[in-house]
Amino acid sequence: MIRNKKRKKNNSVWTMVRTLERNPFITENKLNWLAFGFDRNNSWESNKKYADMLRRGLTKGIIKRTEAHPRHKHGNTKYFYYV
């Protein structure tokens, strides 16, 4: 008996890049939400997979980030990401 299984889409750095092209200067949490539907504040899953992906993009120079200005109120946000 053969079952039709839906293939799970693989997550990649390039998904993050495409998301940042459409939405520059967003936080890490917003990036994960828009790219993968992952909300680390309301999930039991680990953030490690997504954090490692973002770190790889930063190391390769594909993704860049800028520090939030201390005078502006952004909650706990420290960095904004862009391409």
| Any domain includes 56 | yes
CA-to-CA distance for 11 and 73, rounded, in angstroms?
31
What's the whole-number mean pLDDT along residues 70-83?
83
Is position 22 within any domain?
yes
Mean pLDDT across 44-67: 93
Confidence of residue 83 (pLDDT cuts 50, 70, 90): very high
Is 31 contained in some domain? yes
Note the pLDDT of residue 19: 96
Number of domains in the chain: 1
Q: Which residue has the higher pLDDT, 46 or 21?
A: 21
**Residue 63: domain span:** 13-68
pTM summary value? 0.81
Query: Does a structural domain hold residue 50?
Result: yes
- How many whole angstroms separate alpha carbon 81 and alpha carbon 19? 11
Q: How far is CA 2 from the centre of its chain?
A: 36
33 lies in a domain? yes
